[in-house]
Structure 1
Amino acid sequence: MCGAPKQGQTLPSNIDAEKETVLTGQVVDAEGTAVPGAFVRLLDSTGEFTAEVVASGSGDFRFFAAPGTWTLRALSRSGNGETTVEPTGPGIHTYEITVK
């Protein structure tokens, strides 16, 4: 069984978004439709694998990370996509990954 937290846009009540850097968002296809079950990977600034979660039924994903430069990569049956993000500090940072 996967040890990753349940994915979704709503944070658990025990998470303080003023202290945590949260990377969250949704995987979508070219038409903007949610892509459930995509594997979403978090890569550091050198491209090294850091973590992976499976997107929820509505395509949502979430990671807790440090401020800095990260790549969010989605792999799915609908295609693959990625985006580079640079959260500068604590808070909820929301991104969309389009797969093609």
Structure 2
Amino acid sequence: MCAAPKQGQKLPAGVDVEKETVLTGQVLDADGSPVAGAFVRLLDGTREFTAEVVASGTGDFRFFAAPGTWTIRALSSRGNGETTVTPDGTGVFEHDVTVAPS
């Protein structure tokens, strides 16, 4: 069992998006339906594992990162998928990940 915290789109109180880089989005299947409970991994620019969370009941996930190049990979019983994001500063960067059977 993974000990990754459950996530959601609502940012915690006190998060200053003028000082933080937030990567957020939703895990979706090929039909656009949310995928609850997917393991969502954050990989750095060299594709090394950095962090993992469990998508919420509505498929939402969130990471706090630094500007740069990141890969967000989702793994679920409904398939896997990934997307590359390149936040260039602080703020909220929304990117959904679509999963498909392998």
TM range (shorter): over 0.9
Residues 36/3 of structure 1: CA separation in 2 closer, same or farther (3 Å cut): closer
Q: State the TM-score, normalized to the length of structure 1.
A: 0.95
Q: Which runs of 5+ in 2 are unaligned?
A: none
Write the mapping of 1:1-100 to structure 2, written as runs, cut at 5 A. 2=3, 4=5, 6-100=6-100
Which residue identity is paired with 2:86?
E
Deviation at 1:3, TM superposition (A): 5.8
TM (norm. structure 2) is: 0.93
Runs (4 or more) in structure 1 with deviation over 6 Å come to none
Query: Which runs of 5 or more residues in structure 1 are unaligned?
Result: none
Mapped partners of 1:55, 1:20: distance in 2: 21
**Share of identical aligned residues, percent?**
70
Deviations 1:2-34 (A, max 9, x none): 363x41111011111110000000000000000
The two structures, once aligned, show a CA RMSD in angstroms of 1.2
Distance 1:76 1:3 in 2: 14
Offset of residue 95 of structure 1:
0.5
